[in-house]
Amino acid sequence: MQHELEKLRYPIGRFAIPDVIDSILLNDWIKTIADFPARLKSEVGDLTDSALEKRYRPDGWTIRQVVHHCADSHMNSFVRFKLALTEEDPTIKLYEEKLWAELPDAKIIPIESSVKLLEGLHERWVMLLKSLSAEQLERGFIHPVTKRLISLKVNIGLYAWHCNHHLMHIVNAKNH
């Protein structure tokens, strides 16, 4: 039972930092981030209101909440990238994503605003990511809980994973 729940929570597995992050891998990750809004739109574009209420696991978020969560999370990540590029090892601010997902703007409104937000945000984010030098990719931010420095190149991988992770949640919820 626990293994089944883990598979529903992490259908593509948990993010693991590769031993080597080279330009080929970075370019693949950036492409995943670039393609995410279109892939998301393809998965959710024709869903009815009732379909948006399907959950990918018991006690999990609805498809609607997942879409709004992606907008919230990716906005936070974009800001963290900009902080890391303009400040020396800033400590990031966490946000209570589970509580954000329960707010009315994530729980009940249509998803179109978040889809549009992701399209514009990812356009800017990808342009920024493609412009980063090797030195800038090593910059990072400090996670306030772990007190560890997370490099931008690792965070690019984390967000490529995040895109695929939540797309699979949506696919699983649709088929559930």
Give residue 95's pLDDT. Answer: 95
Assign 154 a pLDDT band (cuts: 50, 70, 90). Answer: very high
Give residue 85's pLDDT. Answer: 98
The lowest-confidence range among 3-7, 85-89, 108-112, 171-175 is 3-7
Mean pLDDT confidence for 89-104: 96
CB 170 within 8 A of CB 63: yes
Task: Print the SS3 string covering the chain.
Answer: CHHHHHHHHCCCCCCCCCCCCCHHHHHHHHHHHHHHHHHHHHHHCCCCCCHHHCECCCCCCEHHHHHHHHHHHHHHHHHHHHHHHHCCCCECCCCCHHHHCCCHHHHCCCCHHHHHHHHHHHHHHHHHHHHCCHHHHHCEEECCCCCCEEEHHHHHHHHHHHHHHHHHHHHHHHHC
Give residue 71's pLDDT. Answer: 98
Mean pLDDT confidence for 72-87: 98
Domains of the chain: 21-175 (1.20.120.450)
Q: What is the mean pLDDT of the chain?
A: 96
Mean pLDDT confidence for 38-54: 97
Mean pLDDT confidence for 95-100: 96
Residue 147's identity, in one-letter code, is K
Assign 3 a pLDDT band (cuts: 50, 70, 90). Answer: confident
**Cut 0.85: pTM above it:** yes
Give residue 176's pLDDT. Answer: 80
